[in-house]
């Protein structure tokens, strides 16, 4: 991947069905911008972020025994999902839990990419 600001950056393929390209988040075949332009766009982006967090939780639950701290990682992903159900999710809370998950899944490139993509979306949205 190119360094931030490089002219040939083609976005982030986070693995699975998640992709971030510039200010757009794509989960499965749906896409939503994560710019702070219009409220409906923000709501759509948050809905996509919720879907990405749900997929992450499913991946962690399915592969829980492959991680040294599998139980704790699942718990952290559950906290991310719960925080995203709030009317106004708290950015720092989300980033704290995602920051815990990231190093724990670093050996699994696809899951680590998913975590990084979700962190980027949280930073952009909140």
What is the pLDDT at residue 4? Answer: 43
Cβ atoms of residues 25 and 42 within 8 Å: no
Taking CA atoms, 125 is separated from 61, 73, 75, in Å, by 26, 23, 23
pLDDT digits over 96-121, tens only?
999 999 988 887 777 878 888 888 88
Classify residue 1: in a domain, yes or no.
no
Give 38-43's long-range contacts (Cβ < 8 A, gap of 24+): 42/125
Classify residue 70: in a domain, yes or no.
yes
Classify residue 23: in a domain, yes or no.
yes
- Domain span at 27: 12-125
The DSSP call for residue 65 is: G
What is the pLDDT at residue 27? Answer: 55
- The whole-angstrom separation of Cα 23 and Cα 42 is 11
Classify residue 7: in a domain, yes or no.
no
Classify residue 62: in a domain, yes or no.
yes
Classify residue 6: in a domain, yes or no.
no
Classify residue 104: in a domain, yes or no.
yes
pLDDT digits over 34-90, tens only?
444 457 788 888 899 999 999 999 999 998 998 889 999 999 999 999 999 998 899
What is the pLDDT at residue 6? Answer: 44
**How many domains does the chain divide into?**
1
């Amino acid at each position: 991947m190119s360094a931030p600001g490089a002219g040939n950056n083609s976005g982030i393929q986070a693995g699975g069905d998640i992709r971030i390209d510039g200010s757009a988040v794509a989960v499965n075949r749906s896409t939503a911008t994560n710019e702070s332009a219009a409220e409906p766009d923000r709501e759509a982006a948050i809905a996509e972020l919720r879907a990405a967090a749900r997929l992450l939780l499913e991946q962690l639950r399915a592969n829980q025994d492959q991680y040294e701290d599998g139980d704790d990682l699942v718990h952290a992903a559950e906290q991310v999902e719960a925080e995203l159900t709030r009317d106004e999710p708290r950015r720092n809370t989300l980033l704290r839990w995602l920051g815990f998950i990231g190093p724990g899944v670093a050996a699994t490139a696809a899951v680590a990419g998913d975590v990084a993509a979700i962190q980027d979306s949280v930073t952009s949205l909140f």
